Structure 1
Amino acid sequence: MAEVEGARSAQPVIVGVVPGQPADVVKQAAIFASRFGTELVCAYVNPARYPVEEAADGSVESASLDPDFADDHETVFDESLARTLRDLLATTAVPWRTLALAGDVAGALGHLAETLDAAMIVVGAHDHSLGGSLREFFSRSVGAQLAHRQPRPIVIVPVSHRAASEPGRGTDS
């Protein structure tokens, strides 16, 4: 879904997006895309699904890990998240689009970056709450996983405590 008209360019910037993440993550990714003169690809990965088929543009068809709770609505990009992205990127001239992916978050973002020959992957940092620290300890952050697997640059945008406490802003990507 290209929100700003323009041909897709080589080596886009990929940003991992989730509902409630701080706006700074997407804004910083848009700055990189603008400076590189390239497209911004906003990718949401649903870990409760697995990829079945992949297209050349990076989009995937997916299926639910639990067939008892299969929901076709989960195969499309969340409209509420898309609205948030439209609002955040409305003042930029960066061409951008959304993709709904499936599977392991770091694996899916890394595979997308390989498929699109991305310039970089941008993700947000985890929160520093006790719950966030325990989660990161047991599962490592997406940024750390990408840094260990990827041949391309990974940019981890820090989440400030001030930004995380502002209304309507989350702390995790």
Structure 2
Amino acid sequence: MTDNPSASSEEAAQNAALQKAVIVGLQPDQSQHVLDEAVKYARLLGVPLVVVHVDVTRFVTYEDPDGYVHSAPIDINFEAGAAEFEAVQATASAVLDGTGITWTARQLVGDPALAIKQLANKLDAQLIVVGTRKRGIGESIREFFTGSVAARLAHRQHRSVLVVPLEEPVPDTQKDIWVE
């Protein structure tokens, strides 16, 4: 994000055109199934699709009254978030270009659940689509400290949240779900 006053007025105009959209949260190299499900619901509802990536390496420093968000990096390596956003945009473009779906990509900053919730409020979104996390001990530890984005979204706002499984389901006979 830049400190450009015209950027906030452009975003406001774009937000007006995206009212009632379906929002899908994506990460680089995430299963295309998440995006496919979001496209399906955007088509069913006849609304635009907003593909979002949340840069967790940056945090919101303050927000102007007109909604423009100023952010700062947590880490000196702030190029990582830009590269991830470019990867998400490329994936979305490869899937969505030529489909007739009106879509845009946005990069948000900070806590994923709060950032997506705030955008959903601005757009009066009809649905939020997110994927489940990968199985594994590392992801379990991360979720223990940060919490599930899907669960936090479901408990902190009034919109429906579609949680799309990323992997094959764990068989009922398997005791431990998070085995690596």
- TM-score category (smaller protein): 0.7 to 0.9
Q: For residue 17 of structure 2, give the secondary structure of its aligned residue in structure 1.
A: coil
Instruction: Give the structure 1 partner of residue 56 of structure 2.
Output: 47
Instruction: Give the structure 2 partner of residue 143 of structure 1.
Output: 150
Matched, 1:64 2:73: yes
Compared CA separation, residues 24 and 121, structure 1 to 2 (3 A): same
Compared CA separation, residues 19 and 60, structure 1 to 2 (3 A): farther
Instruction: Give the structure 1 partner of residue 29 of structure 2.
Output: 20
2:130 to 103, 116, 123: 123
1:90 to 97, 118, 128: 97
Compared CA separation, residues 99 and 55, structure 1 to 2 (3 A): farther
Compared CA separation, residues 55 and 91, structure 1 to 2 (3 A): farther
User: Could you list the runs of 5+ residues in structure 1 that have no partner in the other structure?
Assistant: 1-6, 163-173
Aligned length: 154
User: Could you list the runs of 5+ residues in structure 2 that have no partner in the other structure?
Assistant: 1-15, 170-180
Contact residue 61 and residue 75 of structure 1 kept, 8 A = no
Q: CA deviation at 1:151?
A: 0.7
Q: Distance in 2 between matches of 1:10 and 1:94?
A: 14
Contact residue 14 and residue 122 of structure 1 kept, 8 A = yes
Query: What TM-score do you get using the length of structure 1 for normalisation?
Result: 0.76
Q: CA deviation at 1:89?
A: 1.5
Cα shift readout 1:103-124 (whole Å, capped 9, x = no counterpart): 1010000111011110011100
- Stretch deviating more after TM superposition (94-103 or 128-137): 128-137
Q: What is the letter of the counterpart of residue 99 of structure 1? A: R
Query: What TM-score do you get using the length of structure 2 for normalisation?
Result: 0.74
Q: Distance in 2 between matches of 1:75 and 1:137?
A: 26
Q: For residue 161 of structure 1, give the secondary structure of its aligned residue in structure 2.
A: coil
Contact residue 105 and residue 142 of structure 1 kept, 8 A = yes
1:24-35 to structure 2, matched below 5 A, reads: 24-35=33-44
Cα shift readout 1:16-52 (whole Å, capped 9, x = no counterpart): 1111110010110011011110010011111121234
- Computed over aligned residues only, the root mean square deviation of the Cα atoms, in angstroms, reads 2.8
Compared CA separation, residues 12 and 64, structure 1 to 2 (3 A): same
Q: Distance in 2 between matches of 1:155 and 1:122?
A: 5
Q: Which runs of 4+ in 1 moved over 6 A?
A: none
Q: Distance in 2 between matches of 1:132 and 1:89?
A: 29
Identical counterparts, % of pairs: 37
Q: What is the letter of the counterpart of residue 34 of structure 2? A: V
Q: Distance in 2 between matches of 1:30 and 1:61?
A: 30
Larger radius of gyration: 2
